[in-house]
Amino acid sequence: MEKRFLVAVYGSLMQGLHNHNYLEDSKLKGSFVTEPIYTLVDLGSFPGLYENGTTSINMEVYEVDEHTLANLDILEGYDETNDDLSMYIRTSISTPFGIAFIYLYNDNIENKKPILSGDWREHLMFKKNLEKYVC
3-state secondary structure of 88: strand
Catalytic residue among 76, 80, 122, 131: 76
Please list, residue by residue across 1-28, b when 16 or more beta carbons sit within 10 angstroms of its beta carbon and e when fewer do: eeeebbbbbbbbbbeebebbebbeebee
Q: Can 122 be counted among the known catalytic residues?
A: no
CB 104 within 8 A of CB 51: yes
The CA distance from 74 to 101, in Å, is 14
Catalytically active residues are 76
